[in-house]
Structure 1
Amino acid sequence: MGTRGRLPVRGPDCMDQQQARTDPYGVRGLRRNTYMHILVTNDDGLWAQGIQALVAAIPAEHTISVVAPASPQSAKGHSLTMHKPLRVTKVDDYVHPGVDAWSVSGTPVDCMMLGLDTLVEQKVDIVFSGINHGDNLGDDLPYSGTVSGAYEAFLSGYPSIAFSTAFPRTGNPGFDFSPITWFLQKMLPLIPELIGINQPLTKSFSNELNGSLFLNVNAPNCPVSDVKGIRIVPQGRRRYAHRVTASVDQFGAPIYWIGGDVPPIPQEGTDVTAVADGYISVTPLGIDLTDYILLERLQQLGTFAGLTPASQ
């Protein structure tokens, strides 16, 4: 681990009587003095602009480790590399002096497994994935390597946040990551409270909340001064049209390109609409994919048909 270590934390046991009355959970002192070990990954590769902007935006008092793909892995979803070995290259002083980084010849999920289980020795407090070059909204999520990197960390018991910046608008020459880095500066002081670092075990801050944070954050591609605000919204739907394009190669053989056109009318009240309207979207995600309404209907149908016991 590099030289960017954590400083001592002032916990609830150190509070004086005045603070105990005005700040019973120690949140004020915690926000000033709690420093985290942040593990960073992405799907655009270790040397992409987005991940470097993310690491550069993290204040120096935090410890940072980076495990990211050696090459772009966009749209790899939650895929693993299982039939060939992975190669790892160590990079010292990545973006900041003292930041340890590793490039991995695999997917974002490979990176998280290697990082959390093997490469990073110091305890990780939270995982950041991104900043992705392009938004991850609605139906994008199952395909996204950025979201899957954060998802793998969440499945492994670590709080995680995926960050993405929308594709450039017409006439915009590139990506402006300033809305995400601005959001990160606002979000960082709240993270210890959200994930329960050094919180007393009360109903509000219980062990059940530890590790339960999984957020998908998307920002419009514009200067931060043009951002209208932040919206906490559910995941929407964004079904692409013309997903397959047929063509021929130089020999006349048929070939196909996978892609698609973004639908012109987004779903209102969701992450898709929020970013289109100029807001940063924050969407809490989870693990459980069960459709509980259909589950109940199927259980009732099974009982009526004599297929399942009535006591189920």
Structure 2
Amino acid sequence: MLKAKDKPLILITNDDGINSPGLKALAEAINPICNLLIAAPMEQQTGMGRGFLKGDEVGIIEKKNIQLNDQIVEAYAVNSSPAQAVAHAVLELTDKKPDYCISGVNYGENLGLAFTCSGTLGAAFEADSLGIPAVAFSRAFPFNKQKSNNFSSLDWEAEKYHIRNIIKNITANGFPQDVRILNVNFPIDIDQETKVRITRQAYMNYAQYMKPEDRNFSKGHSLKWKLNPEIEKLKKDTDIYAVHFDKIISITPLNSRMSVDTDNYYQKWS
């Protein structure tokens, strides 16, 4: 068994907030194999992407105790977005740069083009911008129960098993060249035998917003969403196909570079 000084320092965060059972499950999964730094938003921050909040009370940090199995560990609740929580943790809550940042486990899958909206992924991209490789974990969940502070009671044991295995592999072997983030999505109802597939990001929205009925524009309205029927056309190697159709765990390697190689195309411009 590694001594504490030899274990990697792993920052964990999420976008569902410090009280999320998904965050607790993540912490319990990896606590035996690392030194933990827990810093997460005070409140639900789903859909924040990599955005930063503004306001006089933004950046307030409260120390909390979290029960992890038979151990009490210290955690920090940050009045912030997920990305801000990562920034505050790295700049203010540790003297040592974390070896990895892990975000999750999110109540709701982050598949296809949804990753730019995701606060779970936003935290991972913020970590990458600070030179810290990151992993984002999300669990498939009904659309109408996402973005809630009333967390459903779930059995996390299978997710914890797979999380521990994935993180053990990462800490032992590192990331492949040019990979900075792993986007991991669990289907509903997995067990320890559920298979894992390395996938590519589907260039499609997993869910699509529905056109509202006639309404009064002077009153607020939250757009509703539904499963995108176009996903039937996707190939087997995509993240959406793996989770939705094959019901297996998807691991999608990412990085923060969004530029596209266009060769000499722009030399044609006058």
TM-score normalised per structure 2: 0.84
Match of 1:215 among 176, 182, 186: 182
Contact 1:169 1:221 in 2 (8 A): no
Percent identity of the aligned residues? 26
CA distance in 2, matches of 1:181, 1:286: 25
Structure-2 residue corresponding to 1:27: none
User: Could you tell me which residue of structure 2 aligns to residue 49 of structure 1?
Assistant: 21
Q: Per-residue deviation at 1:265? A: 4.1
Is the aligned partner of 1:256 residue 2:230?
no
Pairs within 5 Å for 1:142-221? 142-168=116-142, 175-195=154-174, 213-221=180-188
Following TM superposition, the consecutive aligned residue runs of length 4 or more in structure 1 with deviations greater than 6 angstroms are: none
Distance in 1, matches of 2:157 and 2:11, equals: 20
Q: Does 1:271 align with 2:239?
A: yes
CA contact under 8 A between 2:116 and 2:122: conserved in structure 1?
A: yes
Q: Residues 275-290 of structure 1: matches in 2 within 5 Å? A: 275-276=243-244, 277-290=246-259
SS at match of 1:90: strand
Distance 1:177 1:289 in 2: 34
Query: Does the 8 A contact of 2:179 with 2:253 survive in 1?
Result: no
Structure 1 residues 156, 236: CA separation in 2 closer, same or farther (over 3 Å shift)?
A: same
Q: 2:11 aligns with which of 34, 39, 46?
A: 39
Give unpaired runs (5+ residues) of structure 1.
Answer: 10-34, 197-203, 306-312
RMSD: 2.8
Taking structure 1 as reference, are residues 8 and 87 closer, same or farther at Cα in structure 2, changes over 3 Å only? closer
On the 8 A contact 1:160/1:215 being kept in 2, the answer is yes
Bigger radius of gyration: 1
Find out whether 1:125 has 2:91 as its counterpart: no
2:108 to 113, 134, 140: 134
Alignment CA distance shift 1:154-1:183 (3 Å): same
Of residues 25, 40, 47, the one that matches 1:68 is: 40
Q: CA deviation at 1:74?
A: 0.3
Q: Is the 8 A contact 1:94 1:101 kept in 2?
A: no
Question: In the TM superposition, what is the alpha-carbon distance from 1:241 to its structure 2 partner?
Answer: 3.4
Is the contact made by 1:248 and 1:255 (CA closer than 8 Å) also made in structure 2? no
Please, which runs of 5 or more residues in structure 2 have no aligned partner?
145-151
**Equivalent position of 1:104 in the other structure:** 78
8 Å contact 1:133–1:175 — kept in the other structure? no
> Which of 58, 65, 68 in structure 1 is aligned with 2:30?
58
Number of residue pairs matched by the alignment: 255
